[in-house]
Amino acid sequence: MKKLAKIFIYLGMAGAIIVALFVSILTAITVVINNPYYYESDLIASIILLVVVVALCAVLCCINIIVGRITLRKMENAKSKDELFSISIICLIFCSIVSGIILLCLDENEFEEGKKIESGVSNLEALETKLNKLKSLKESGAISEEEYSELRKRTIDKEL
């Protein structure tokens, strides 16, 4: 479901850009159609309206993109559902309703994969430490070559 949330975040960001362009173009067309004779006072008011609408669209579009990027980054780094709760609400309001709902409905199992990878790395580091200790014992003469081989084999079998 995390992939689905990512898809809807990207769709929300793209949709915001398209809507902003559409509203800006529609406002420009409306200004031209409603002022065919270009009366000076009406033209100035129309241009101000056009500038305000375009600026508002740009600001809303930027907020959407910024919230979307922050949400995507937090999704990559999150190790539990609780870490995504606040950004899910913000995404729900400012970016994409669907992706915000999906993020709020994520199951804790979605984050288990990252935990397994981390525990696998820590297990390998522990194994490496144990093997290094065995090697130093062999080099110092505390254990023989045969004992070292046997202990090394047992340690590897037990850890893997």
- Tens of pLDDT, residues 102-123: 999 888 777 765 555 455 556 7
- What pLDDT does 81 receive? 84
Give the separation between CA 87 and CA 44, rounded to whole angstroms. 41
| pTM score | 0.62
Neighbour-count burial of 96, counting CB atoms closer than 10 A to its CB (0-12 exposed, 13-18 middle, 19+ buried): buried
Are the beta carbons of 144 and 123 closer than 8 angstroms? no
Give the separation between CA 30 and CA 126, rounded to whole angstroms. 69
- Single out the residue of 150, 84, 6 nearest to residue 158, CA to CA: 150
* pLDDT surpassing 70 at residue 10: yes
In degrees and rounded to multiples of 5, residue 132 shows phi and psi of -65, -40
Which is more confidently placed, 118 or 83? 83
